[in-house]
């Protein structure tokens, strides 16, 4: 079973509280999301393999460590996931970015696929799927299924806020995928929104309704 990692660093929690506030505008919401994504990236990449190489400092030659192994890819679920990409790329500027387009049917609350574009070598990369909200888990689970159907094997899921129902669903459908999350909220309401949540992340990022 994949692990659930709750990133409860004080900076993450403080910034998340500011994002939750109803009176936080789109500009501040976007900036805070990018900052939290960068802080979460630090934790998500903690287990990357390292290797020693020889370098020359201004003083002498020495051995020092660099990242080795698989290259990274960041896969935002459109459209809200776009708000997390820059935070990851600031720390890992060489990572490739793919995009998965899913929207939630307003009647059935089920995700509907409309777009998928991945790096050509996605199957060889460690992929980090990003989406601020993990509500029912349908979109995240479907996105991971889409990646696996295209030969991707090394996948992590990174979300800002999640409901227990969504976490349980992703663990059930993809028990091999670790989930990284800043907060596990109380529940879903009758409209499948996270309670207390922070509203519709996509609308708050882009100033739409």
The token pair at 25 is: 């505008």
Ramachandran angles phi, psi of 132, nearest 5°: -60, -35
Q: What length is written for the chain?
A: 209
47 in catalytic set: no
Distance CA 162, CA 199 (A): 12
The distance of Cα 142 from the centroid of its chain, to the nearest Å, equals 14
Catalytic residue among 28, 86, 178, 203: 203
142 in catalytic set: no
Catalytic residue among 56, 57, 94, 108: 108
Catalytic residue among 28, 104, 173, 178: 104
Q: Which of 109, 120, 119 is nearest to 142 (CA)?
A: 109
203 in catalytic set: yes
17 in catalytic set: no
CB atoms within 10 A of CB 187: 12
The token pair at 157 is: 């899921």
CA distances to 60, 95, 135, 165, 183 from 119, rounded to whole Å, are 39, 10, 27, 31, 30
Catalytic residue among 28, 86, 178, 200: 200
Which residues are designated catalytic?
104, 108, 200, 203
């Amino acid at each position: 079973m994949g692990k659930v990692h709750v990133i409860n660093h004080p900076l993450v929690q403080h910034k998340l509280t500011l994002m939750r506030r109803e009176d936080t505008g789109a500009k501040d919401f976007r900036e805070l999301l990018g900052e939290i994504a960068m802080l979460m990236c630090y934790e998500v990449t903690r287990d990357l393999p390292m290797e020693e190489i020889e370098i020359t400092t201004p003083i002498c030659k020495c051995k020092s460590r660099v990242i080795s192994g698989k290259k990274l890819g960041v896969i935002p679920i459109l459209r809200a996931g776009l708000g997390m990409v820059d935070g990851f790329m600031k720390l890992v500027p060489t990572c490739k970015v793919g995009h998965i387009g899913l929207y939630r049917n307003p009647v059935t609350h089920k995700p509907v696929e409309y777009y998928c574009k991945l790096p050509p070598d996605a199957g060889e990369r460690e992929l980090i799927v990003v989406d601020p909200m993990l509500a029912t888990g349908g979109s995240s689970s479907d996105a991971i299924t889409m990646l696996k159907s295209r030969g991707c094997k090394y996948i992590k899921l990174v979300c800002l806020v999640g409901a227990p129902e969504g976490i349980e669903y992703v663990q059930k459908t993809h028990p091999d995928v670790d989930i990284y999350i800043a907060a596990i909220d109380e529940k879903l309401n009758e409209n499948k929104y996270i309670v207390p949540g922070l509203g519709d992340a996509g609308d708050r990022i882009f100033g739409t309704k």
